[in-house]
Amino acid sequence: MTELIAVTGATGRIGRRVVRQLVEAGAAVRALGRDQGKLAALPTGDTRTASYDDGAAMRSALDGAHTLFMVSAHEAPGRVRTHAAAVDAALAAGVGRVVYLSYLNAAPHATFTYARDHWHTEQHIRSTGVPFTFLRDSTYQSDLAAMTSPQGVLRGPGGDGRVGAVTHDDIADSVTAVLLGEGHDGATYDMTGPEALSFAEIAAALSEASGREVVYEPETRDQAYASRALYHAPDWEVEGWVTSYEAVAVGEMDDVSDDVRTLTGHPPQAFADFLAANPQCYRHLVRAT
């Protein structure tokens, strides 16, 4: 009997790619999400509606699944508790393996506050004794384009630090390889692109792709908080935005790993190649000219 793989966040940027690849590989896939309408559009007839904070729904949705691919919940002050509840529900349902999408250099005192959540989630998974695999992804290349204003400015307290950003496709390919493969129990893989770029180099690549000038403007911490005040976001969210740049500045995001190639057999995509293949990611820059 084929072992059932459950995919959470199945309608998101990673989850939907993983579901498609698993179905194409002939695997038994159950897609979990919060929007039944979006779930219905996926290429699998086995879908369940459930959210991490509903233990009963999660247990029911995961009944019969052997492996859980767990995408992290949206950022929130109680995200670690939400993750722990989801893991506990999975084990109560009989899940025998957890593959968790974590974050590069997750640590209890990581500069990037959201990376701390991932470390605590990893620790909870470890504490249960269930076989696990962690894939720690770097910043997404598409997010680097999205962080750039329509005026062509990439602004933040990133200093001269560098970031080895990765694509969603490379993450999905790597996750699928782990889910379908063997020998990954207890492993932690770093998911990065093939190069670590400074924000000035990122701006230059965006300039080349979009055909308009894009510049990087370094900020101090105080300037970063002030420039983001107009969004009226909660303090914890603004702190996450600011510390994502500060993590780059202090060298916590400059890792370049060969784990994508090791898992998938192909090299990770470079930022310039990603931009050339995905002009929709910087369309807001072209329209602003």
Q: What is the rounded distance in angstroms from the CA atom of residue 229 to the CA atom of residue 222?
A: 11
Whether 204 is in a domain gets the answer: no
Name, in order, each residue with C-beta under 8 angstroms of 33's C-beta and a sequence gap of 6 or more: 8, 9, 10, 11, 12, 15, 39, 47, 49, 50
Whether 155 is in a domain gets the answer: no
Q: What is the rounded distance in angstroms from the CA atom of residue 274 to the CA atom of residue 267?
A: 13
Per-residue pLDDT tens, the chain, 289 aa: give them. Answer: 589 999 999 999 999 999 999 999 999 999 999 999 999 999 999 999 999 999 999 999 999 999 999 999 999 999 999 999 999 999 999 999 999 999 999 999 999 999 999 999 999 999 999 999 999 999 999 999 999 999 999 999 999 999 999 999 999 999 999 999 999 999 999 999 999 999 999 999 999 999 999 999 999 999 999 999 989 999 999 999 999 999 999 999 999 999 999 999 999 999 999 999 999 999 999 865 4
Whether 87 is in a domain gets the answer: yes
Whether 196 is in a domain gets the answer: no
The total of structural domains in the chain comes to 1
User: Given the structure tokens 């990765």, which residue do they identify?
Assistant: 166
SS3 string, 96-118, reads CEEEEEEECCCCCCCCCHHHHHH
CATH classification of the domain holding 25 = 3.40.50.720
Q: What is the rounded distance in angstroms from the CA atom of residue 242 to the CA atom of residue 4?
A: 40
Structural domain of residue 24, as residue ranges? 4-137+168-191
Whether 157 is in a domain gets the answer: no
Whether 252 is in a domain gets the answer: no
Whether 284 is in a domain gets the answer: no
Give 73-98 as a DSSP string.
Answer: PPP-TTHHHHHHHHHHHHHHTT--EE
Whether 199 is in a domain gets the answer: no
Paired tokens of 76:
């929130």
Paired tokens of 120:
């605590």
DSSP 252: S
What is the pTM assigned to this prediction?
0.96
52 with 82: CB under 8 angstroms? Answer: yes
H or E element: which one contains 227?
Answer: helix 221-227
